[in-house]
Structure 1
Amino acid sequence: MTVEIVLLAMVALFVGLRLYAVLGQRTGHEQRPVTRPEAAAAPEPAAVANDVSSERKEPSGLVYEEDAAAGIRAIIAADPSFDVGRFLEGAQEAYRMTLEAFWKGERDELRYLASPDVYASFEESIAERETAGHRLDNRLIAIERTLIEDARLNGRTAEIAVRFDADIAAVTRDKDGEVVGGTLTDAIETHDVWTFRRTLGSNDPNWLLVETDAAD
């Protein structure tokens, strides 16, 4: 029993550290996502994040909709260390981690990434898949665009809705490994809107996935 408890604690610590590296903080409430290689040559994030009136562009276009600007300003006012670019980089990695955990049926990791309601939906789908004797062999080929569609602050609770346009190769296999649906040769265009939530100033550095929707 003691050995099992120690092993579970080690697993929990490992998953927590992975998530912290994706949507954690540097100074107590600032995101610290995995940084892209070209980020070192980019302007200082803090210098551009607080100017939400400027037309900030990534290679794929604007990083936020005009309707989200007021919410971003409110979040920055409550938390001056908040950085739009860093948040989106972290959101991309969280998107990838969550999808891969769902496809592999990694329930423990999904618990750290998602709210109880979202986790329940994931778990139900995983259970149905297991009952049918199926497993997913999906691949996230590319995230073509990441865009903040909405941002709001209610008291100290911040919520940011992010649209992901991605290409995914989806394959379903049976218990013998035979393909029963999908193909790895043709990627499917997917369009999702995921909402992340965090209480600003809290000891928990993570932005939690609280809602998943298909984009219009």
Structure 2
Amino acid sequence: MPLWLMILLGTIFGGLIFFAIFMFVRSRKKSKEALGASAGETSKYAGQAPPEPEVLAGQVAAIREHDAAFDEGRFLKWAEETFFKVQESWTERQASGARALMTDACFADHERRIGELLAKNEKNELDALAVSGTAIMGIESDKQTDTITVRFNAQCADYTVNAETGEVVRGNKAVGAWVEDWVFMRARPDYLAGGGEMPAGGLETNWRLARIDEVMG
């Protein structure tokens, strides 16, 4: 085979591989833009590892100053349960299933996105959804609210189908890993107990999902 032909075929083959990778990443990104509840932006913790134990211990101690019963292990367990409930609400296209778990703005966006799927007669599937790890990325408090960001390392096959025919219209059935930071908020119990007004946005003393920020995926 002439050298020029080998170079030409190599260039074409390389281009096809690049195009295939580009389309795969593009389909994953497009599908992930619709995943879950209220879409946030890139997480402020993107590119960062979870805090060192002593740093997290200091943040936990700070929240315990006004909530002595706070337990980070119990909170992470609840957060993971919430993760699966929200994803079930999404894949079943039943927004009401997540109402009690979200702030007003988060639920409004979740409901709108599900409405868009229903209008197109589409359904987003998250086959083999699993969480491989969770971590608290940060705990913050102000006068009225507490905020905790939880990182989820997860994997699933993420694709959208026609709800009637089952035909895949976006994404693919390959299982892929992704990372998101979920931001939970609540009204500070001590603030309300001291006569403070309930913060706007549907916040109560129970934790609510405020938004989902992208990290990887």
Work out whether the TM-score is over 0.5.
yes
Matched residue, 1:178: 167
Residues 160-212 of structure 1: per-residue CA shift (max 9 Å, x gap): 0001010112232112222333344x212111111111224369552100121
Equivalents in 2 of 1:87, 1:108: separation in Å?
23
Aligned match for 1:97, one of 61, 85, 88: 85
Matched residue, 2:214: 214
Matched residue, 1:65: 51
The share of aligned pairs that are identical, in percent, is 28
Q: Say which SS state the counterpart of residue 176 (structure 2) adopts.
A: strand
Residues 20-68 of structure 1: per-residue CA shift (max 9 Å, x gap): xxxxxxxxxxxxxxxxxxxxxxxxxxxxxxxxxxxxxxxxxxx952354
Q: Say which SS state the counterpart of residue 137 (structure 1) adopts.
A: strand
Matched residue, 2:20: none
Cα 1:196–1:105 shift into 2, 3 Å = same
Equivalents in 1 of 2:133, 2:178: separation in Å?
11
> Is there any run of 5+ residues in structure 2 with no aligned partner, and where?
1-48, 194-203
Equivalents in 2 of 1:182, 1:157: separation in Å?
38
Contact persistence 2:145–2:185 (CA under 8 A): yes
Equivalents in 1 of 2:70, 2:178: separation in Å?
28
Matched residue, 1:190: 178
Matched residue, 2:6: none
Q: Say which SS state the counterpart of residue 81 (structure 1) adopts.
A: coil
Equivalents in 2 of 1:108, 1:141: separation in Å?
21
CA RMSD of aligned residues (A): 2.3
Stretches (4+) displaced over 3 A: 66-70, 181-184, 202-205
Aligned match for 1:111, one of 92, 96, 99: 99
Deviation at 1:97, TM superposition (A): 0.6
Contact persistence 2:187–2:206 (CA under 8 A): no
Bigger Rg over Cα: 2
Matched residue, 1:167: 155
Cα 1:80–1:211 shift into 2, 3 Å = same
Deviation at 1:135, TM superposition (A): 1.1
Deviation at 1:156, TM superposition (A): 4.8
The TM-score, its normalising length taken from structure 2, stands at: 0.63
Ranked by relative contact order (alpha carbons within 8 Å, sequence separation 6 or more), the top structure is 2
Equivalents in 2 of 1:190, 1:128: separation in Å?
24
Equivalents in 2 of 1:88, 1:139: separation in Å?
23
Cα 1:115–1:108 shift into 2, 3 Å = same
Letter in 2 for 1:114: M
Equivalents in 2 of 1:142, 1:79: separation in Å?
31
Matched residue, 1:142: 130
Q: Which range moves more in the overlay, 160-169 or 136-145?
A: 136-145
The TM-score, its normalising length taken from structure 1, stands at: 0.63
